[in-house]
Amino acid sequence: MKILVTAKRVEDPESKIKVKPDGSGIVQEGLKYKINPFDEIGVEEGLRLAAKHGGEVVVVSIGGKEVQEQLRHALAMGAHRAVWVNHTGTLDQLALAGLLQKVAEKEKPDMVILGKQSIDDDQNQVGQYLAEFLGWSQATFASKVESLESEQEKNKVPALQVGADGKTVRVVREVDNGLATLECALPAVVTTDLRLNLPRYASLPGIMKAKSKPIEELTPEKLGVDVTPKIQVLKMSSPPPRKAGIKVPDVATLVDKLRNEAKAV
């Protein structure tokens, strides 16, 4: 089975994001970059599926030369080869999904696994756009019943269950008030939620091997996709700060403040 996974380059989730004084963007200096954590979960799931069912994991990233770092990261985790769509400049979700559609049509995977959202834009859209553009089945927010401390997780059992005939995949989705299970005909688009798995660390031999794995370079022009943004960011700002709070010495003071000052109880 062939699985296409994504590796978006995003700011390290632990880094402090500050808006530029003129509101034109965020301050880039001093920031570290990583693979989008949700995409990393997608890479891990792809590797587990390939280990169980055989096949190939192809990782794709879109951006300037620097996204090769994220591709190498996924290759070091164990992905077999990489596709790099070389483009500098802003891309919105319509453009990203359009590019991924062309890559998927070229690669013809059985499944595309993406993060449910990237932690920079937080749009939570690309997987759904992609599924519609391809006319494929979609299962967003993939999770599993077992916890991340379960035996299944320790044994790296894939959470996505491919049917015996290899034509379907069962996905447990994290939704409001519970878990919903879908059965998707393959090929399908799956987006990952946090508790699908714990991604592995890249091993040293993995990192060495990744250096010689192939990265194919494509461009929006080669793929025939118009990437003119349809979403314009006019201005960015920092959220209004909360007014400074106080420390209270004991429960009695807390209850008094809650009752008489905040009128919350």
Near another protein in 8-37, by CB under 8 A: 11, 13-14, 16-17, 19, 26
CB contact burial 223-247 (16+ within 10 A = b; e otherwise): bebebeeeeeeeeeeeeeeeeeeee
Residues between 119 and 158 that touch another protein (CB under 8 A): 119-133, 136-141, 143, 147-150
- Cα of first residue to Cα of last residue in the chain, in angstroms, is 57
Q: Does 159 bind another protein (CB under 8 A)?
A: no
Q: Tell me the angle at which helices 126-134 and 93-107 cross, rounded to the nearest 10 degrees.
A: 50
Helix (H) or strand (E) holding 95: helix 93-107
Comparing CB distances to another protein, the nearer of 135 and 205 is: 135
Q: Does 175 bind another protein (CB under 8 A)?
A: yes
Q: Which is nearer to another protein, 201 or 203 (CB)?
A: 201
Burial (CB < 10 A; 0-12, 13-18, 19+), residue 151, is exposed
Q: What is the DSSP letter of 225?
A: -
Q: Which of 163, 185, 217, 222 binds another protein (CB under 8 A)?
A: 185
Residue pair 19/26 in contact by the 8 Å Cβ criterion = yes
37/63 with CB nearer another protein: 37
Residue with tokens 């001093």, as numbered in its chain: 30
Task: Find the binding residues for another protein in span 92-111 (CB under 8 A).
Answer: 92-94, 97
Q: Is 257 an interacting residue with respect to another protein (CB under 8 A)?
A: yes
Among 188, 210, 225, 227, indicate the residue that binds another protein (CB under 8 A).
188
Give the separation between CA 161 and CA 111, rounded to whole angstroms.
12
Smallest distance, Å, CB 20 to another protein? 10
- Report if residue 258 touches another protein, rule: CB under 8 A: yes
Candidates 28, 181, 203, 219: give the one binding another protein (CB under 8 A). Answer: 181
Single residue of 28, 163, 217, 254 touching another protein by CB under 8 A: 254
Which residue carries 């280990």 as its tokens?
51
50-69 positions binding another protein, by CB under 8 A: none
CA distances from 77 to 41, 71, 118, 239 (A): 11, 10, 19, 37
How many whole angstroms from its chain centre is CA 129?
14
Q: Which listed residue (54, 165, 250, 260) binds another protein by CB under 8 A?
A: 250
Examine residue 248 and tell whether it contacts another protein (CB under 8 A).
Answer: yes
User: Binding-site residue total for another protein (CB under 8 A)?
Assistant: 84
Q: Which is nearer to another protein, 211 or 230 (CB)?
A: 230
